[in-house]
Chain A
Amino acid sequence: MSRRRSWMALLLAVLAWALGCEQTGRSHVLAPVYAAGTGVRDVSQNGDTIHVDRAQVVFGPAYFCATSSADRDLCPTALAEVLDVSEFDALSATPTPIGTLRGTSGTYRSLMFDWGISWLLSASRPESTLPALGGHSAVFSGSVTRAGRVVSWSLSIDASPAEAGRPAVAGVRETHALEPADASRALVMTVDPVDWISRVDTNEIFSAADVAGAESVVLGPETTSYQAVLIAMTSSAPPTFEWGTRP
């Protein structure tokens, strides 16, 4: 209503309020979102030790849906969303702010999101939405130790959506209530990059090192390790979300 609103409208608004504030069944939700890792950097696999030095991840956008099968078709309208796309250190257990959750109250049962690469409905190809990390979804590096031999590895994941308008990660089942804003609360996303990296094939790393004659390998998309981490990030080991107090 403009400043030229008539006194009559004001009077009516007051009267309507006095007669009972008419509301539909939802309220606004606004909360900060943080990302955190587990703080763990090492994992054993078949006697080998995998150490993760770096796990930088780009997250967003994310949509929280009432359906239990969040995807383009079953979630045309989301309960809430995080439209920010942010990079964070997935190894740090300290929550990092990555954006704001905006939406309406209700129970969300699943979510869908991108790891920094989105395929917009009108676009011809998926594109990175944040110029960080060279346009990749995640950049990992570390080493693997087998019987005293240490081979460094690096891995740059591109978690691209399979088709336009679809998110890279869909149907992640999480059930939480979204309630009206409580200034002390925040939504905390927890990722476990070491769990993801645990799926790499250490034999493949050592073999690649042997072939290359170097103690450092780059795990590209042609490698099983790359595909395993990608599957973990996009399907089998998605992040979890919990409401907590604002850090």
Chain B
Amino acid sequence: MQRSLIQSLLLLVFLTSCSSATGVGDVSVRLGAEDSITLGLTAGSAAEDVVDGWDVTYSKFIVAVGGISLRQQSTGTQFDSLGVHIVDLMALPATGFELARFAGVPAARYDVFNWQIAIASASATREASVAEADAARMIADGCTYLIAGELTNATGQTCSPGTACVDARTVRFDLCIPAATTFGPCNDPDGAAGVAVSAGGVTNAEATLHGDHLFFNLFPLGDEATIVRRAQWLANSDTGHDGIVTRAELESLQAAQLFTSPNYSLAGAPTVDGHGIETGWDWVRAQARTQGHFQGEGECPWN
């Protein structure tokens, strides 16, 4: 009896001396698209609707994404994936697209999760969902996004600044947007920092892109809170009245002409090439720099 008790004591001491080994797991970092990208936005008066009568649908929402970083502050342990992928969010499977996979990650909470929207380059990996021509256009124009879609409104009009309004049931847009951004450190929707990696399995972490920021009326920092969605400004940007909004048209319009107080506020807008928002194109680029989130609704500050 005594001997067995002492043996059990020694076993427990041995086990407890090894207790620091908590195991390892894999981390799968996936790219996810908010419903506003795949399903579009609808006109209406509800809090999630576009309030000025326009439905929004996307046909392409291509993004160059990569630069994943997972770090534990207390130990400095870090995992990086520098590769850039060009992906069309309209063609994502329901489970998203795997951007990176870190194997053998010691199980623990990694409280810093960063990811990047990058300028498309020849070294980026073009996924099958992206047409070669679209990738080539992004690379040639130094873009991070290629976003195409249309606004529809049965009673819609284009009211370009300084001109009379004209009927416009459908207004298309096709924009190759340079908006390189680093997002992070990200919190999950419940406010927890980063990712908790479990041992012996795969932990999923989703870099999520929202598709409605272009239509926000302000630049919320942190919680998106009481934003309102408006799309009339984009319809108004079709100064050529040809039914499609181009970069040149947006560049020709002052932000003060499109985003007027009190309906809009530019406070807190990220800078674009080191300057503030001066034109409609600047607005598009600035809002494109705010679209990154984490695990759905989790917030990621932009750089």
Known: A163-B225, A170-B221, A235-B277. A224 touches B267 (CB 8 A): no
Are A69 and B256 within 8 A (Cβ)? no
- What total of chain B residues lie within 8 Å of the partner, measured CB to CB? 32
Are A224 and B301 within 8 A (Cβ)? no
Known: A231-B256, A235-B266. A71 touches B220 (CB 8 A): yes
Are A234 and B267 within 8 A (Cβ)? yes
Are B221 and A74 within 8 A (Cβ)? yes
**Chain B 249-287 against A: per-residue CB contact (8 Å), 1 yes, 0 no?**
000001111011110011111110001111000000000
A72 contacts chain B at the CB level, 8 A cutoff: yes
Are A68 and B301 within 8 A (Cβ)? yes
Are B262 and A160 within 8 A (Cβ)? yes
Chain A contact patch, size range: 20 to 34
A247 contacts chain B at the CB level, 8 A cutoff: no
Q: Using Cβ atoms and an 8 Å threshold, which residues of chain A touch B269?
A: 171, 235
Are B256 and A71 within 8 A (Cβ)? no
Q: Using Cβ atoms and an 8 Å threshold, which residues of chain A touch B275?
A: 236
**Chain B 167-191 against A: per-residue CB contact (8 Å), 1 yes, 0 no?**
0000000000000000000000000
B242 contacts chain A at the CB level, 8 A cutoff: no
**Chain A 56-77 against B: per-residue CB contact (8 Å), 1 yes, 0 no?**
0000000000011111111000
B93 contacts chain A at the CB level, 8 A cutoff: no
Query: How far is A169 from B261 in the complex, measured between Cα atoms in Å?
Result: 13
Q: Using Cβ atoms and an 8 Å threshold, which residues of chain B touch A171?
A: 219, 221, 267-270
A16 contacts chain B at the CB level, 8 A cutoff: no
Q: Using Cβ atoms and an 8 Å threshold, which residues of chain A touch B217?
A: 162
Q: Using Cβ atoms and an 8 Å threshold, which residues of chain A touch B278?
A: 236
Q: Using Cβ atoms and an 8 Å threshold, which residues of chain B touch A166?
A: 267
B222 contacts chain A at the CB level, 8 A cutoff: yes
Are A168 and B223 within 8 A (Cβ)? no
Are B268 and A231 within 8 A (Cβ)? no
- Which chain B residue shows the least CB distance to A235? B266
Q: Using Cβ atoms and an 8 Å threshold, which residues of chain B touch A237?
A: 276
Are A69 and B301 within 8 A (Cβ)? yes
- Which chain B residue shows the least CB distance to A157? B261
- Which chain A residue shows the least CB distance to B255? A231
Query: How far is A169 from B218 in the complex, measured between Cα atoms in Å?
Result: 12
Are A231 and B262 within 8 A (Cβ)? no
Which one of B161, B261, B276, B303 contacts A236 once the chains associate, using CB atoms below 8 Å?
B276
Are B254 and A70 within 8 A (Cβ)? no
Are A67 and B301 within 8 A (Cβ)? yes
B226 contacts chain A at the CB level, 8 A cutoff: yes
Are A231 and B222 within 8 A (Cβ)? no
Query: How far is A68 from B268 in the complex, measured between Cα atoms in Å?
Result: 10
CB distance from B148 to the nearest CB of A (A): 28
Are A227 and B268 within 8 A (Cβ)? no
Task: Select the residue from A171, A173, A232 with max chain B CB neighbours within 10 A.
Answer: A171
A221 contacts chain B at the CB level, 8 A cutoff: yes
Known: A231-B256, A236-B278. A160 touches B261 (CB 8 A): yes
Are A221 and B261 within 8 A (Cβ)? yes
Are B277 and A74 within 8 A (Cβ)? no
A228 contacts chain B at the CB level, 8 A cutoff: yes
Are B267 and A227 within 8 A (Cβ)? no
Known: A73-B225, A235-B266, A236-B276. A228 touches B301 (CB 8 A): no
Known: A171-B268, A236-B266, A236-B278. A162 touches B218 (CB 8 A): yes
**A-B contacts besides A70-B221, A71-B221, A171-B267, 16 pairs, CB < 8 Å:** A71-B222, A72-B222, A73-B220, A161-B265, A162-B267, A171-B221, A199-B256, A221-B261, A227-B257, A228-B256, A230-B256, A234-B265, A234-B266, A234-B267, A235-B269, A237-B276
Q: Which residues from chain B sit less than 8 Å from chain A, CB to CB?
A: 161, 217-223, 225-226, 254-257, 259-262, 265-271, 275-278, 301-303
What are 8 contact pairs spanning A and B, CB under 8 A? Answer: A68-B303, A71-B268, A72-B222, A171-B268, A171-B270, A227-B260, A231-B256, A235-B267
Per CB-CB distance, the 8 closest pairs between chain A and chain B, nearest first, are A236-B276, A73-B222, A71-B221, A171-B268, A170-B268, A227-B256, A235-B266, A162-B265
